[in-house]
Amino acid sequence: MKLALVGATGLVGREMLEVLTERQIKVDEFIPVASARSIGKKINYMGKAYTVVSMDEAINAKPDYALFSAGGSTSTEYAPRFAAVGTCVIDNSSAWRMDPDKKLVVPEVNGHILNGQEDIIANPNCSTIQLVVALKPLHEAYGIKRLVISTYQSFTGTGAKAVEQYEGERDGKATHSYESAYDHPIFENCLPHCDVFLDNDYTKEEMKLVHETRKIMNAPDIAITATAVRVPVHGGHSESVNIEFEKSFDIDTLKAILHNAPGIIVQDNVKDSIYPMPKFARKKDEVFVGRIRRDESIENGLNLWIVADNLRKGAATNAVQILEHLIH
């Protein structure tokens, strides 16, 4: 098997390399790809050193699979070129997610739709991935009517520039010594502004939660509204989710459903202050669910707190799980 990793030196690319290594994905040929300034650098994978190559060189090698984590414009330009030589692309950008001809996949939720004939498969947005892992088994049991989502998203989701800004502010460096990713400080601050604002005054991130959730769960009629907030947290994304179901539920049965669902770890013992926290989700591949309680203000209402490492399950791990689904 020939595997290309596009964006190999970036934040998510490095995480993908780590996940591939942990999961012992064996390849006959590994092809790391990065921008012009990184070409020629060495990257270690499974005990061997590989040289970073250009896009054209990688395309000419005709890899079987290519993991993409290099931004939307790069994916739009190069993913079809890889696909044209027979490569199956698993793309982490937003470029293909809402394309009606491309599958948007979270293996625990809709991995069954993959048939091995795909040219480009879209990896969903980080905040959507952890959300749908928790929602899918509940939707199957009770039917979700409406969702109200508030996210608390790590600055690492914005990329290396945001990490540089956070560390610069934390260390008290002069603002001219680092490049800022945000319009305002992120250290000791919360920004109700993830991605760009759209004409409806929601951000792109908020609308991704709406559209991607419906597509992945094949549930176009769920009413969804979201507020996405960037927080000074290193470990992962957290979500407060209010659900209105079509059917009534027994809370103990509902908790058991979550306990038994793939990819979920339930942490829900408030007497002992046990609940999910991003600090402890870091470097983990599971989705953590807690604060499971009935919404007493509405019939068939539920509140959940959902946490996951946005660079792992929210990006790298999910992409590698799609790859595993295809090769096994």
pLDDT single digits (tens) 53-112: 999 999 999 999 999 999 899 999 999 999 999 999 999 999 999 999 999 999 999 999
Q: What is the pLDDT of residues 264-291, one digit of tens each?
A: 999 999 999 999 999 999 999 999 999 9
Q: From CA 132, how far away is CA 47, in angstroms rounded? A: 35
pLDDT tens column, 116-148: 999 999 999 999 999 999 999 999 999 999 999
Q: Which two tokens stand for residue 280?
A: 């402890």
CATH among 3.60.150.10, 3.30.360.10, 3.40.50.300, 3.30.499.10 for 128-310: 3.30.360.10
Task: Show me where the domains of the chain are located.
Answer: 2-123+315-327, 128-310
Enumerate residues 6+ apart whose C-beta is below 8 A from 187: 166, 169, 170, 232
pTM: 0.96
- Active site positions, annotated: 126, 237
Helices (H) and strands (E) in the chain, counts: 10, 14
Task: Let me know the angle formed at the C-alpha of 230 by 227 and 233, rounded to the nearest 5 degrees.
Answer: 135
pLDDT tens string 204-248: 999 999 999 999 999 999 999 999 999 999 989 999 999 999 999
Which residues neighbour 49 within 8 Å (Cβ) at sequence distance 6 or greater?
42, 43
Task: State in words which class domain 2-123+315-327 has.
Answer: alpha beta
pLDDT at site 271:
98
Backbone angles phi, psi at 317, to 5 degrees: -60, -45
- Which residue type sits at 277? M
Percent of the chain residues topping a pLDDT of 90: 97
Question: In this structure, are residues 293 and 303 in contact, taking their beta carbons and an 8 Å threshold?
Answer: yes
Angle of the 317-327 helix axis to the 11-22 helix axis, nearest 10: 50
- What digits encode the pLDDT tens for the residues 142-165? 999 999 999 999 999 998 899 999
Per-residue pLDDT at 235 = 80
Phi, psi values for residue 288, rounded to 5°: -105, 130
Q: Give residue 199's pLDDT band: very low, low, confident or very high (50, 70, 90).
A: very high
pLDDT score recorded for residue 328? 85
